[in-house]
Structure 1
Amino acid sequence: MKPKRVLVAYGSRAGATAGIAEEIGQTLRDDGFDAVVLPADTVTDVSAYDGVVLGGALCAGHWTGKTRRCARRNAEQLRHRPLRLFSSGPVDTSVYEHDIPPVRGVARRMRKLGAREHTTFGGAATADTSEPVARHMINRGKCGDFRNPERIRAWAHHIGTELGATP
């Protein structure tokens, strides 16, 4: 039996979201799925996938434009397959203290696309980050890598378990 194909698409500003997407993709591959990880701005057709994970970096309370455009461009196809969403961005420990609900625009997309769930992961702004907003945060002393690989892998395993049970 051929493994289920899963697309993990992401919109990243400074690379942290891309790293989260790669971790999700690798975990799904380790779980026996044919997982493909692609930048959201390159995704024009999701019909070849049995499930989709779409994630975006948050900046000023919004997903990156690449992720928003991907969701709009593929909306009809996304409504007809298992879809999970994630956001990355808080550059602090808040994601470990409580669940962070999706921002308003992402919550609206969840409803429109029929997404099964959403989670928020910590982001990263480190000394080697060149993205202007991240540089501003670093200059204000707000920096660090708040991604949690164990939490990312646990969520990916959860997705795999649900996709594996879906005919």
Structure 2
Amino acid sequence: MKLLVTYASKYGSTAEIAEVIGKELGRRAYEVEVKPVEAVDSVTGYDGFVIGSALYAGGWIESAAKFLQTNQKMLAKHPVWLFSSGPTGEGDPNDIMDGWQFPEDLSAVVEKIKPKDVILFHGHIDPEKLNFAEKMIIRSVKATVGDYRDWLVIRSWARAIDLQAKTE
């Protein structure tokens, strides 16, 4: 089974999550390609897709949203898993984001694709990488800075993809 793990990442945190997912799936005898959505020329030739994006103001990065919209017909014919990364702090990332769901502009697309699973991972905010405006936003919303990604949860999710893919 050939899988594409593709993502949109502004500062690299989501890219690192995608790489870990790709490595975990590669260990399970899948042929895996990991690349940013901007580098995907075609979705033909893949048997399944893992697609992720960092969250900004609760929404996916535009390039990832466009990827879903542009490729929704093909994606709907294959197993798809979606992940988002963003919230920082202790506790369940869904609780931190007040029960986050896909923004309305993507919910119809996601419904058509019918993903096998949708998950929200903790993210990483590195103030050294932020521009002035982003630093002000982080301060105003009192976001917790630091790396809150849980690699055990991320690897476990990749293993769950393996189990689901084997039942396809």
Q: TM-score range by the shorter chain?
A: 0.7 to 0.9
Aligned to 1:45: 42
The 8 Å contact of residues 93 and 120 in structure 2, kept in 1 or not, is answered as: no
Alpha-carbon distance in structure 2 between the residues aligned to 1:8 and 1:143: 27
Alpha-carbon distance, 1:138 to partner: 6.4
Structure 1: where are the runs of 5+ without partners?
Answer: none
- What is the CA–CA distance in structure 1 between the aligned matches of 2:28 and 2:94, rounded to whole Å? 28
Counting only pairs closer than 5 Å after superposition, residues 109-124 of structure 1 correspond to structure 2 as 109-124=109-124
Verify: 1:61 aligned to 2:65, yes or no: no
Q: Does structure 1 residue 79 correspond to structure 2 residue 98?
A: no
Q: 1:32 to 1:69 in 2, by over 3 A?
A: same
Which amino acid is the alignment partner of residue 85 of structure 1? L
Overall identity of the aligned pairs, in %: 29
Computed over aligned residues only, the root mean square deviation of the Cα atoms, in angstroms, reads 2.3
Length-normalised TM-score, structure 2: 0.86
Letter in 2 for 1:30: R
Q: Return the letter of the residue paired with 2:40.
A: V
After TM superposition, give the deviation of residue 86 of structure 1 in Å: 0.7
After superposition, the C-alpha distances for 1:81-128 in whole angstroms (9 at most, x for unaligned) are 001111111122243575944333454332022222200001111243
Corresponding residue pairs, total: 163
> Which portions of structure 1, spanning 4 or more consecutive aligned residues, are displaced by more than 4 angstroms?
96-101, 131-134, 138-141
Given that residues 37 and 64 in structure 2 are in contact (C-alpha distance below 8 angstroms), is that contact kept between their aligned partners in structure 1?
yes
Go from structure 1 to structure 2 and tell me whether the alpha carbon gap of 1:102 and 1:157 turns closer, same or farther (over 3 Å shift): same
Secondary structure of 2:3's partner? strand
CA distance in 1, matches of 2:61, 2:94: 25
Does the aligned pair in 1 maintain the 2:72–2:113 contact within 8 Å?
yes
